[in-house]
Every structure is written in structure tokens, then in C-alpha cells.
Structure 1
């Protein structure tokens, strides 16, 4: 490794800093961070606005302009600081029911649709669903949105969301994840549900079996359905389960639909708390 670094320094010792910055800007965010260790010249070039402007999503200024709150604090940041701020701190855009972040090591765009951005059968009927703010439910994990949906009692469970591929990073494989938790008093959630992700212009819709309860929450051994999915705990105290994946090709404007359904067993269910659906790149560091 020391020899490689020495060779790089020999090759680039006569290059001006702007030229080095231009070279680094054509790599990846992880490479740009790594090259800062080569030398002081590289460190200065790797921190330049030229580099990080190129590594930010091309439409990041338009996205920031859609901020629910003033973006003045973001506007005064260097491009590198802006990049990592957008990685670590989701911003609310549009009507406040959608958030945006950047995948730290790739620069790819990530979105989350809050519960109010989703379609929920009987979602506005208090008999079946209630909406809580963080202040009203201090026992729930922290939410980036103003409200979350709490299932009171339904036998027909159907939740869905859609996202346009044109706002996502091109030539990228994405996964869609239901973000939720289970309340203290729940029932009927031990039965499998169906999850799907598909393009709306496709007739076929393949559902997969999934369990909203973790294996540790079940009173019985984990079911043995082939390819059944289970949730995992997140660092933000919510749970997530993968709904499916899709590949977003370049310059193809399509709509992706993501669904959660349980319309077969029709047992009464309660206690599910939905935060939203997150769409983020897969198979990346």
C-alpha cells in the first residue's frame, strides 16, 4: 500500500491542485475520502467544492429548494459539509410527508414516504386507524414526520405507496422497506402478510410471504414457509422488513408501487404502527 501511495505521489507531484480535484471528482465519495490521506495537496483537493459538487446528486439544489423549513443553514455549508449533512440528517421536502437523504458511500439518492404519504384502507376512520404525533405518543421511537399511523382494529389490511423512478438515481438497484413497530397491545399480527414491489405498467404482481413479528416476539417456533421474510431492528429503534426490489434504468420514467396486504386470513389485527416506506440503494457498502 505504501508503495502504491508513493507511486501516486510521484505521478501527481507536478499536477496543480485543481487538476487533482478534477480527477478525484470523477471517482466515488468513498474514494474521495480515502485520497485525502495521500498528501496535503490531495487532502486540500479532496475537500474542495469542485469535488463534492460533482459527487452530490445533480438535482440536489432543486431538492433542497423543496425543504419544508428554511434551507439557509444548508446554503452556507461547503459542498463537502452539505454532502455529509444530507447523509446524516434527513430533510423533509414537499408537504413534509416525504424525506430525502444521500447514501454516504455512493452518493445515491434515498427517499422515505411517511405514513401520511401512503394509501391506507380506512386510514382516516378513527374506528380502524389513529394518527399520533410524537408528543402524543412518547413511548414510540422518534419519527422524522409529524404523524405516524396506529392500527386500532381491522380485518382487511392494505397499505401501499408509489414513487416515480425519475427522482431516483439512475442505473441503481433499489430496495423498498416497510418501516414500522409493534405496540404493546397487539393481536392478529402473528399471521403472515403479503408484500410486493412492482412497476405499475406491469400486469403481473408477485407477492412474497412475510412476518411482521420478529422470531423472538413469537410464542411458537419460526414458521418454515419457503422464502418467508422477517423484520430486523434498526438503529433508530424502528423495525424494517424488505418489501422487494427493482432496478432503476437510466432515463426511464416509471412508477413503482409497494404494497403490504393481508386480505386472505381476515383475522382481526391491531397494534401495528407505521412510520413509512423507505426506498434506498441495495448492495452498496
Structure 2
């Protein structure tokens, strides 16, 4: 295929490569000097950038400096702060699809401004100026919202609560929390725990808390009781659910609630909610 493309003009090759993908364009850079020049052109990389790019750039927290559309694309693959530093935006390096992280400041968290219940603080590993740490509460409610017009169309997205669990955490595993994704008045609900279950916790739970857990589990919706998984950045994430983005603009609401157990809990650190493509 590379041999055939070498027979075409550079402009024609650039137009063809703009219909492929970022990894394909990078591979063609290695084929020949003509294909390298074509694959690095703004014509190719402009096709991989989002159509609402001017609006996105106007929301950035810092001024971006780039020499080409290719340079800009790869800068946008790293999280950049937008909307006054309360959200981040990034592009997927393979698909070019959009992802966002809504910081704790961009979420609705019950009693978040009550110092007896929560503390706003900074964290050395967070991308945001502030995270929020739970001191003590019984009814935990976290909600985030995003409009599908900000996302890539014809794509399935997942929503993930980004957390850490402090060494002094308590009460987070007493009953599973309810998670839900609501779009156009249609809601999908599941359950999750907020702590990874290590061997020691599992043994203690079996010995002391199983009967109580079984009684309390009946108070929440049935689900698959997900557990947090470790992210590449060292934080944990809990999947809240998934949703499909079509062509029409809709509001998506993402929730995590533990309001039925009335179990005192603390030590949960919340960075935000990430919304990213699943495929």
C-alpha cells in the first residue's frame, strides 16, 4: 500500500491519511520521506482534532504553545485544565475521542461545605488544586453531570469515580453503595464497594461481619458489587456505569449514593469523576 501511495501527490496522500487514525499516520511516517511529509501535514492531523476545538481551546486554564496540528494533537492527549481548573480534557491517542475529568469542585457532594463532615485539601498526586476528604458522615451522596455535546458522538462512554482510601478510613465497606447513570429519564443502577478487598479484610469480614452485611445488603438494589481498581496514576477508580452518546445532545447524570445503611464512615478522598470512551 505504501508503494502505491508513493505514486500520488503529497496533498492527495495527506487527504487519504486524514481518513485513517493517529496510529496509522504515525506508521506511515516510517515508510518513506514522501509519506512522512504527508503524514505530518496539518491536513492529516486536523482531521483527528475535535470539530469544536476553538471552543475547547477558549476554555483552557493555561495557554498552549504548538508548532503544528500534530503537535497540538499530542499536547491534547495529556490532560489539560479547563473551566478555571475544575475540569480536565484530553484526547485518546488511538481514537482521538474526547475524555473529561470533573474535579470534586465540579461535583455535587452532600454537605461538602460543612467542615464537620468534609475537608477541602490539596494532594500531591492530584491533577487538580483541590480534592475533598471525608471526615465523617452517614449519608453519602455524590453527583456529576455532563452534556453529551461535549463528548465524541457514536461512542460508548464509561463514568468512573476517582478516589483514594486513607489509612484511617472506616465504615466504607459496611454496605455497598448504589451507583446510577441517568440519561433522558432512563436510569441504570448497580452497586459497588468503596474499598479494595484484600485477604485480611476478607477474613475479618467472614468472621465478624457477614451476618450484618447480609441484612444490610437487602436494603440496596441488587448488583454485581464492584470493587475499585487501581489506575495508572496511582488512584483508585470505581465504575459508576456506562452510556452511549448518539448524535443528539442530552444531559447525563452520574451518581453514587449510600443513604439506606446510615453507617458512619470516613477516610474517603475524592478527586473527581472521569468520563472516557470504552471502545
Alignment TM-score, normalising by the size of structure 1? 0.87
2:66 counterpart residue number: 76
User: Partners in 1 of 2:223 and 2:89 — Cα distance?
Assistant: 34
Q: Please tell me whether residue 196 in structure 1 is matched to residue 180 in structure 2.
A: yes
Q: Would you say the 8 A contact 1:22–1:51 is kept in 2?
A: yes
2:145 counterpart residue number: 162
Q: Please tell me whether residue 12 in structure 1 is matched to residue 8 in structure 2.
A: no
1:210 counterpart residue number: 192
Q: What is the DSSP-based 3-state SS (H/G/I as helix, E as strand, rest coil) of the residue aligned with 1:220? A: helix
Q: CA deviation at 1:14?
A: 2.2
1:106 counterpart residue number: 95
User: Partners in 2 of 1:216 and 1:79 — Cα distance?
Assistant: 46
Moved over 3 A (4+): 221-226
User: Partners in 2 of 1:218 and 1:188 — Cα distance?
Assistant: 16
Closer, same or farther in 2 for the Cα pair 1:217/1:209, shift >3 Å?
farther
- Unaligned stretches of 5+ in structure 2? 215-221
Aligned residues: 263
Aligned positions of 1:1-285 closer than 5 A: 8-69=1-62, 71=63, 74-88=64-78, 90-134=79-123, 142-191=125-174, 192-199=176-183, 201-202=184-185, 204-216=186-198, 219-220=201-202, 227-250=224-247, 252-283=248-279
What CA deviation, in whole Å up to 9, does each residue of 1:73-130 have, x standing for no partner? x243311111111112x11111211110001100001011000000011010000011
Q: CA deviation at 1:234?
A: 1.1
User: Partners in 2 of 1:164 and 1:94 — Cα distance?
Assistant: 15
Closer, same or farther in 2 for the Cα pair 1:61/1:179, shift >3 Å?
same
Q: CA deviation at 1:33?
A: 1.6
Q: Would you say the 8 A contact 2:2–2:28 is kept in 1?
A: no
Q: Would you say the 8 A contact 2:163–2:235 is kept in 1?
A: yes
Closer, same or farther in 2 for the Cα pair 1:218/1:231, shift >3 Å?
farther
Alignment TM-score, normalising by the size of structure 2? 0.89
User: Partners in 2 of 1:258 and 1:64 — Cα distance?
Assistant: 26
Q: CA deviation at 1:29?
A: 1.3
What CA deviation, in whole Å up to 9, does each residue of 1:33-74 have, x standing for no partner? 2222222211111111111111111112221121122x1xx2
